Structure 1
Amino acid sequence: MMMLQDGSVQLLCLTASSGVPLFTRGASKQLPFSVIGSLNGVHMFGAGQGVVLSSSETDRGSKVVWRVFQDSVMLIAVSGGHKGSSNEDLHLRRLLENVWNIMVLVLGQDELANVRNVERLKRDLRSCYRLIDQLLEERLEGTMGDLTHCADCLVPPNSTLLQEALVGFTQAADSEFGCLMIHGRIAVATEKWWRLAPQEVVLLSALTRSLSLSGSVSCDYPVFLPQGSPTVAHRLLRFQLLPGADVCMLCGPSPSLHRAESELVGRYWSPLVEALRGCLAVGERCLPNTVSLRPDVLALLFINRESRRSISCVKSIPSAPPIVAPTPSRSRCWELLRLFYTFTTTRYFSLEEAPAAASPGEGAPQGETLHEDFALGFSHQPLQCYLVTEECKCFGLQTPQHQLYLLTPLSVPTFTLRSVATQTLSAITTATA
């Protein structure tokens, strides 16, 4: 039977040992307690037989993915499925991984790995809901990091000035970890910030966006780094420089929020107001106007495989004449870009990342096995692929250093897709070199 409506996702969090529910988020129509108990029970039964149950699918397309973290917390994602989609596993596995890392980021690993008081943990977990709901409700339109685990970036027109100011600002605060974010994307960051694990960079960006949306001008927020420092908290200081422009840094007990705000922010950033406005003018295009993109590119995702940084954008789409097939809306283009990335990385291209630390006995994520099985049909590593749908044409291109995913209108001849992609890749790599 179909457990949820098409396209809806519900997240369940339970204690791994006893199956006590900690929270549920997601679909408005929650699953009955009996179904939740059954989902937990079938996983526990498999574990008792020496079998790790990682995912399952109903005859009507609903998908269920399980994962246990630190032998303490079980996360279950239940999806109503998307008609015609066979790539839901990657999305749901990424979701569980991100949710666990959010819980560690906010609460620390000790509190999650050693559950002493269930009721207290339930209350503490409420502080994670805002970030978790952003993932479930896909309110991160314009960013792809939750899926790609690459930092969402933009290319500022005046990066040298901004980099120097950021380094000076963080050093004055006795820190080496800082970044400047424009419209929720990283414009510049210190060397140590880039040395953080890619998933940590993605989560810190998401947290900064969330704090910015709360309306506060500055904040002092304790965070744990899921891989670098899961048991010792750091302070995340965030300051709004202009609407849409935020600077943040990780630091220890000093400086105080008041000192950093009153003495350091003005000293280093007031002289750069015009440079910041130039960054804001780049907007969601993520590339300066000096980078010329072909008019037949609807949307793109560019990934630097070595640095784990990405640039993604959806261009403004003019209304098509009545005789021309309508182009997808802006929000639909973001959705199609995510779907094409998932389609390609589960079949042709490598995800290019080390798997997250698993609990003992957990084994490799199911999606990696699926990719390996599918890839056995090839005698080589695919470097290009394309897909023609009812809404647009898609082209993927992979080199040793980069991956590029493009959406184009249906009117673009299929045989020209490769040249469109190579020209676009050349334009972006020249701008980001």
Structure 2
Amino acid sequence: MEESSVFLLCLTANSGVPLYCRSKSSKQLTFSVIGSLNGVHMFANNQDVLLTSTRTENSRVLWRTFHDSINLIVMSCESNASDHSLNKLLENVFSAMVLVIGLDDLMNIKNVERLKKDFRACYKLIDSFLTESEKMGDLTQCVDCVIAHDAAILQECLDGFTQAAESEFGCLLTGGKVVVATEKWWRLASQDAMLLCWLVSSLSPHSSRDYPVYLPQGSPTVPHRLLTFQLVPGVDVCVLCGPSPSLQKVESELVERFWKPVLDPVKSCLRVQLRSFPASVPLHHGILGILLVNQDLNKSLYTVQVHPTEDMQRSDMKCILEQRRAALRSFYTLAMSRYFRPDHHDGKRDKRLGGHPSSEEKRDPHLMKKWRPTKANRRRKEMWWN
């Protein structure tokens, strides 16, 4: 098996029926291996033993059960894999499934074949957690951000645009990283805000979307609407709202009105996408990567291209960037798992994924209006999956 192989399995907890299998490599696990991995976990449960992880000579396997309904298994052959990082992966994957499908359908599985089809909507988001990227929110559980020159101008424009769209939850994204966001966007649960950004960056580019989403921490059973609009290729503005306004109204009346006057500052966001901060900020040449995390604000700044001008001149840059990403992620994982208090994975903690709306969401009439995705929305959604 390849050293970079990572396999993710999803099965029903009661019967062990495979729902999907995703892989970082082109290879797939055989049915016998899938059955063995699930069988040893079920055998342990029948003996009142909680099996969470094990190691072999060249691989590491973790099991997690969510809400006594969904079993997730991850097997990694990567040398830098750890229980901490793989547990974060399983949490992110289940939360991604809640984000797109909703908690009710995951807790009460009535039709396995229908659920398998629904999971197709999650594949791109789940696959993004299996591959290294220019973001670290999957590990830090904070929102990846960039620092732009014209942040004040963009913030003012975003606040006006979001208010005109009858919402108070909005953000401006470049490459899946937040440039600016409204005050209430930052009051969302950090995992919810992180997942929304990853969802937008995982989808194929589109001029506009009306996407039904559930908030795993804030509203796992009642969907909201995520409206996204591509201002320029690589830069999107997002609004989280209730039943109104319509996508057509926002796109035809508000996007051009608010964002056309600031087109140059919007385009400038692309120049800081990879470095995450302006080139005018000098750094020592010995610094190859940076990760800054503010847990109080749920924000992080991450880059392994501190000197993009010099890096572009190197022919083997792709391989070098992969090595930097792996080194920085391994260092962060080591520091968090060894020197900070680890998370406890006793099964009970997973119940918080079905928690109640936050106090901010309870007070906001736009988000708490009950809204259900229409057949037309579902059809549009299926078009984006393919």
TM-score by length of 1: 0.75
Deviations 1:105-133 (A, max 9, x none): 11000000000111111111111111111
2:323 equivalent in structure 1: 332
The corresponding residue for 1:218 is 208
Q: CA deviation at 1:6?
A: 1.5
In the other structure, the counterpart of 2:153 is 161
Q: Pick the aligned partner of 2:120 from 122, 126, 130.
A: 126
Report which of the two has the higher share of helix.
2
Counterpart in 1 of 2:181?
189
Displacement, 1:288?
Answer: 2.1
Once the two structures are superposed, residues 207-254 of structure 1 have per-residue CA deviations (whole angstroms, 9 ceiling, x without a partner) of 11123xx13111111100001010011110000111221100101111
Q: Which amino acid aligns with 1:346?
A: S
Match for residue 109 of structure 2 among 103, 107, 115: 115
Offset at residue 283 of structure 1 (A): 3.1
Instruction: Tell me the equivalent position of 1:49.
Output: 47
Structure 1 pair 336/75, CA: closer, same or farther in 2 (3 Å)?
A: same
The one-letter code sitting in structure 2 at the alignment partner of 1:191 is E
In the alignment, structure 1 residue 102 sits paired with structure 2 residue 93: no
Matched residues in 2 for 1:22 and 1:225: separation?
A: 22
Q: Deviation digits for residues 312-346 of structure 1, max 9, x if unmatched? A: 11223748xxxxxx997122211211111112212
Whichever residue aligns with residue 73 of structure 1, its letter is I
Q: Determine which of 227, 237, 255 is the counterpart of 1:247.
A: 237
Equivalenced residue count is 344
Aligned identity (percent) is: 52
> Partner of 1:66 in structure 2?
63
Q: Distance in 2 between matches of 1:327 and 1:8?
A: 19
Describe the superposition over 1:24-69 as per-residue Cα deviations: whole angstroms up to 9, x where unpaired: 11043322222222221221222222221110111x1311100001
- Structure showing greater relative contact order (alpha-carbon pairs closer than 8 Å, 6 or more residues apart): 2
Q: Residue type of the partner of 1:64?
A: V
Q: Distance in 1 between matches of 2:134 and 2:52?
A: 30
Q: 1:327 to 1:135 in 2, by over 3 A?
A: closer
**CA distance in 2 between partners of 1:330 and 1:81 (Å):** 17
In the alignment, is the contact (CA less than 8 A) between 2:171 and 2:181 conserved in 1?
yes
Query: Deviation of residue 19 (structure 1)?
Result: 0.5
From 155, 166, 169, give the equivalent of 1:177. Answer: 169
* Aligned with residue 336 of structure 2, among 332, 345, 356: 345
Specify the code of the residue in structure 1 equivalent to 2:110.
Answer: R
Inter-partner Cα distance in structure 2 for 1:136 and 1:278? 30
Q: Is the 8 A contact 2:59 2:76 kept in 1?
A: yes
- Does residue 146 (structure 1) correspond to residue 146 (structure 2)? The answer is no
What corresponds to 1:293 in structure 2?
A: 283
Residue of 16, 21, 36 corresponding to 2:34: 36
Query: 17-26 or 27-36: which moved more?
Result: 27-36
Distance 1:55 1:206 in 2: 27
In structure 2, stretches of 5+ residues that fail to align are 312-316, 352-386
Aligned counterpart in structure 2 of residue 280 of structure 1, from 270, 279, 284 = 270
> In structure 1, what is the equivalent of residue 196 of structure 2?
204
Deviation, 1:201, is: 1.2
For residues 157 and 326 of structure 2, the distance between their equivalents in structure 1, rounded to whole angstroms, comes to: 36
* Aligned twin of 1:88: 82
TM-score by length of 2: 0.84
Output the amino acid matched with 2:328: L
> Distance between the aligned counterparts of 2:318 and 2:8, measured in 1?
33
Does the Cα contact within 8 Å between 2:67 and 2:350 map onto a contact in 1? no
SS in 2 for 1:293: coil
> Which residue pairs with 1:15 in the alignment?
12
Asked whether 1:311 is paired with 2:301, we answer yes
Structure of higher CA gyration radius: 1
Q: How far does residue 305 in structure 1 lie from its aligned partner after superposition?
A: 2.2
Quote the residue 2:218 is aligned against.
228
Deviations 1:341-379 (Å, cap 9, x if unpaired)?
11221212456xx768x744979xxxxxxxxxxxxxxxx
Contact kept, 8 Å, 2:143 with 2:300, in 1: the verdict is yes
Q: Secondary structure at the match of 2:122?
A: helix
- Aligned to 1:271, what secondary structure does the other structure show? helix
Question: 1:295-325: CA deviations, max 9, x gaps?
Answer: 2211111111211210011223748xxxxxx
- Alpha-carbon distance between aligned partners in 2 of 1:173 and 1:63, rounded to the nearest angstrom: 47
Q: In structure 1, what is the Cα distance between the partners aligned to 2:208 and 2:2?
A: 40
